[in-house]
Every structure is written in structure tokens, then in C-alpha cells.
Amino acid sequence: MRLKHHKHLTRSGFVLIELLAVLMIIMILIALLLPAVQQAREAARSTSCKNNLAQIGVALQNYQMAHLLLPPGTVNPKGPILNQPKGYHVGWAIQILPLLDEKAAFRSHNFKFGVYNSTNRLTANYILRCFQCPSSARGGFNYVGCHNDLETPIDVDNNGVLFLNSSIREKNLKDGRSYTIFVGEALDGGFLGWTSGTSSTLRNTGTKINFVNPNQSAFAQAYRYGNYGEYRFEDQADDMLDDLNSQPEDLNSEGIANTPEEQKRLLQVGGFSSAHTGGAHFCLGDGSTRFISENTDFQILRNLANRHDGNLIGEY
């Protein structure tokens, strides 16, 4: 009698518990790799941000070589500058456009009129990628000039390099280019447009880097007019340069007198900030870019912002 041998069929493939284990391992690997990928992306964005600042620094240097002085931070017949859409307010960024290979944008601006006039709407709506930090989700205008060391209104007596009707020559940079901030980052820049020579494009070191002033942020949002400079202002009756000399400075864009509290708020400028963790990028007068920590000593920041204080600056 012959015994029958039954062949046992073996099934290939994963059982449920093995599949779950593999999925768990994959999820753990993704969790481990994701921060590294994000860090690599931020490092690339940070490098691009520094390159933008370096490009702006070169443009400022070339402007000084051509004109023997730096461009004024803002042009207006009277000061101090009020952060409202009223006035001539031609900012420093417009003036270096030809040196950033943006000649068409420069030619589109009519310097006979102020920056808020509808004649210059096309210029204000133009998107300048070289003034946008890749890490900033808000976009807009992220590189602002340094007008002063302390929090003070933008005026003719500021000690930075870009301020009201400034005309800084080489002899005025007494602390040396390597020890003077020209341009830095601002998260909330451009709320009155990148052409506006107000706190839209100028800042100081009167507050710590990345300090968020809720009043300043609320004020910026109240005046912000679009995703990127989309004008909502009508023509101003006093925005021709010849007419501004006879106009009072304490009126708002509707011609109504500002209250003392409103006047104080309109004079506030604010400090530097960025989307980068722990600090912000700056461009010094020699064209070099530095990432300065938000924990940097306050006095060092002020010394860097002041073009002629004569103070020695240590490591930072």
C-alpha cells in the first residue's frame, strides 16, 4: 500500500503585521529625514537671500561711484516723514533700479509726481524679485535701508546712511564701510509700496532684531493696499514736488488733521526682522553680508547703524 504525500502549498507575500511594520519603518525614516530636507531648503533660501542683499549692496556702491554719494533714503521737502500715503516720498530703492538692471521700471516712474500718484501706479505695482526674501511667505518688499541707530522719526538729522534728503559721501562714513549697516531685512516692509520712502523701506536698530511691535503690525496691515503694492489711493492734491512746500505735514491723506496719538504712531519707524530663525541678514557698506543674531548685544547693533559714532565694535 502506497502512502500519499500531500504537498503543502506555501503562500508568498507579506502578512498584515509585516506590512504594518514596514510602513512604520518608512514613516520613521520620513520623520527623521523631513527636518533635514527642510533645513536644506531653508539653507538654500538663506543663501539666495544673502545674494539678493549682496546685489543691492553692489548697486549702492556703484551708485556712489557714479554720483560720489549714496542715494537719499527718501526725498521730501519737509520732515519728519509721516508713514501715510501723502507726500512726495521718493525712496532709495527707485534710485538704484538702473544699477539692478531694472531700467524699464526706473523709466516708468514720473519723478514730477509723488509715489502715491496714479501716474506712478505702474511702477509701484511692479514686482522686484531682488527685493523679496525667498523665506518670507508674505512676499512684498523685504530689504530696507538703515536710517538711524535709535527709534526716531525719519528726518534730516539721522545718523544712518539712508534718511530724509541724505547725501552721504565717503568722508561721512567715518566708522568705515565694514562697520556700517546699509541694508537689512524686514518682514513687514513695503506696506505703503516699495517706492515709498517711509518705514516701508527704512528701519533702525532701536529695537531688537525680530522684535514684533503689535501696534506697528496693526498699523501696517491697516495701510497695506494689496498683495504687492496694489494701489487703492486716489491722486493726491499735494503730491507734486512744487506744491508740497506749501502743504502742512500734520494732515492725513484725506486732508484731516492727525490727532497727537495718531501723529506719534505715524512717526514710528520700527526695526529689522526676518523669516529666518534666530536673526536676520544685513548688508554692510563694503558689500559683505552678515547674519546677525537676534541675541546680539544692543549696543553693537546701534554702533553698526551709526555711521560716525567712533565706537569700536567687537565680535558679533
* Model pLDDT for residues 195-231, shown as the tens digit of each residue: 999 999 999 999 999 987 655 554 555 455 443 344 4
Higher pLDDT, 230 or 162: 162
Mean pLDDT of the chain, nearest integer: 84
For 100, other C-beta atoms within 10 Å of its C-beta total 18
pLDDT digits (tens, 9 = 90+) for 257-304: 567 778 888 999 999 999 999 999 999 999 999 999 999 999 999 999
Burial class (CB in 10 A: 0-12, 13-18, 19+), 118: middle
DSSP tag of 263 = H
pLDDT digits (tens, 9 = 90+) for 76-121: 999 999 998 989 999 999 999 999 999 999 999 999 999 999 899 8
The pLDDT assigned to 38 comes to: 72
- Classify the C-alpha dihedral 275-206-147-212 as positive or negative: positive
Grade residue 61 by pLDDT with cuts at 50, 70 and 90: very high
The answer to which of 3-12, 37-46, 52-61 has the lowest mean pLDDT is 3-12
The pLDDT assigned to 229 comes to: 42
- Rounded Cα distance between 157 and 188, Å, is 25
Q: What is the pTM assigned to this prediction?
A: 0.81
Report helix, strand or coil for 304.
helix
The pLDDT assigned to 99 comes to: 97
Cβ(71)–Cβ(239) below 8 Å:
no
Question: How many residues comprise the chain?
Answer: 316
pLDDT digits (tens, 9 = 90+) for 102-113: 999 999 999 999
With 50 as the cut, is the pLDDT of residue 29 above it?
A: yes
